[in-house]
C-alpha cells in the first residue's frame, strides 16, 4: 500500500457491535450507567440520526459492560488490525494440567485445520466459504497458542541471584 492509499474501513462493522451490545445490555440501564438520557442513547444508536455515535459514547459503553460484551465491542477492531487477543494468565495461578490441556487443544485445532485444508484443496480451488472456515480455524489456533504461551510465561520463575 503506498502513502496515498487510504485503507478501506467499513464503519458499520464497528457500529453493529455497539448496537448489538447496547441493546443486549438493556439501553435504559446502560444510559443511566454512562450518564446519558435514554433518549440521547437511542439517538446515538439510530443510524439515520444526524448526531452519530462519538468515541466518548463508545468508551462509556465499553467501561460499563461486562467482559463478554467488552470483547464483542473490541472484536471488529482486532479483526481490522489482524490480531487476536487472549486473557493473560496470572503468575502462580497456572497448573501443569492447564498447560497440558492447552497443548491438546492446540493440537486438536491444528488437526482440524489440516482436515479443512485437505477438503478445501481437493478440487484445486478454495471457495469463499472454505476460505472463511480456514481463516476462522487459523484464528482459533492463534488464540490457543497465545493462551498456551501466556500460561508458560505465568509459570516462569524469576532468576535468583546467589551470593548477594
- At residue 120, the pLDDT reads 92
* Contact between 148 and 109 (Cβ < 8 Å): no
89 within a domain of the structure (yes/no):
no
**130 plus 68 within the same structural domain:** no
Instruction: Provide the number of structural domains found in the chain.
Output: 2
The span from the CA of 153 to the CA of 92, in Å, is 10
**141 plus 104 within the same structural domain:** yes
Average pLDDT over residues 8-33: 82
5 within a domain of the structure (yes/no):
no
* Contact between 100 and 69 (Cβ < 8 Å): no
88 within a domain of the structure (yes/no):
no
Of 81, 114, 130, the one marking the end of a domain is 81
**39 plus 73 within the same structural domain:** yes
Average pLDDT over residues 32-53: 82
Interval 92-126: pLDDT, tens: 888 889 899 999 999 999 999 999 999 999 999 99
**16 plus 69 within the same structural domain:** yes
**70 plus 101 within the same structural domain:** no
**76 plus 106 within the same structural domain:** no
- At residue 9, the pLDDT reads 57
- pLDDT confidence tier of residue 14, bands split at 50, 70 and 90: confident
Interval 60-99: pLDDT, tens: 889 999 888 998 899 888 888 888 777 778 888 888 898 9
pLDDT above 60 (res 17): yes
124 within a domain of the structure (yes/no):
yes
The span from the CA of 83 to the CA of 107, in Å, is 21
**17 plus 77 within the same structural domain:** yes
125 within a domain of the structure (yes/no):
yes
Average pLDDT value for the chain: 85
**113 plus 66 within the same structural domain:** no
**18 plus 67 within the same structural domain:** yes
164 within a domain of the structure (yes/no):
no
4 within a domain of the structure (yes/no):
no
Reduced 3-state DSSP string for 73-93: HHHHHHHHHCCCCCCCCCCCC
**68 plus 118 within the same structural domain:** no
30 within a domain of the structure (yes/no):
yes
User: Residue 154, Cα to own-chain centre: how many angstroms?
Assistant: 21
- Domain with 55, as residue range(s), is 11-81
Amino acid at each position: 500500500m503506498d502513502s496515498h492509499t487510504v485503507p478501506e474501513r467499513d464503519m458499520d462493522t464497528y457500529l453493529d457491535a455497539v448496537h448489538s451490545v447496547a441493546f443486549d445490555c438493556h439501553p435504559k440501564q446502560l444510559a443511566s450507567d454512562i450518564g446519558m438520557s435514554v433518549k440521547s442513547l437511542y439517538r446515538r444508536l439510530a443510524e439515520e440520526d444526524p448526531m452519530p455515535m462519538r468515541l466518548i459514547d463508545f468508551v462509556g459503553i465499553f467501561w460499563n459492560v461486562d467482559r463478554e460484551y467488552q470483547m464483542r465491542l473490541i472484536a471488529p477492531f482486532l479483526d481490522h488490525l489482524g490480531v487476536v487477543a487472549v486473557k493473560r494468565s496470572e503468575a502462580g495461578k497456572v497448573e501443569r494440567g492447564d498447560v497440558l490441556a492447552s497443548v491438546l487443544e492446540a493440537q486438536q485445532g491444528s488437526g482440524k485445520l489440516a482436515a479443512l485444508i485437505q477438503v478445501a484443496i481437493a478440487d484445486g480451488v478454495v471457495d469463499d466459504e472454505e476460505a472463511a472456515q480456514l481463516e476462522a480455524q487459523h484464528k482459533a489456533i492463534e488464540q490457543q497458542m497465545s493462551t498456551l504461551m501466556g500460561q508458560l510465561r505465568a509459570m516462569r520463575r524469576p532468576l535468583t541471584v546467589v551470593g548477594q
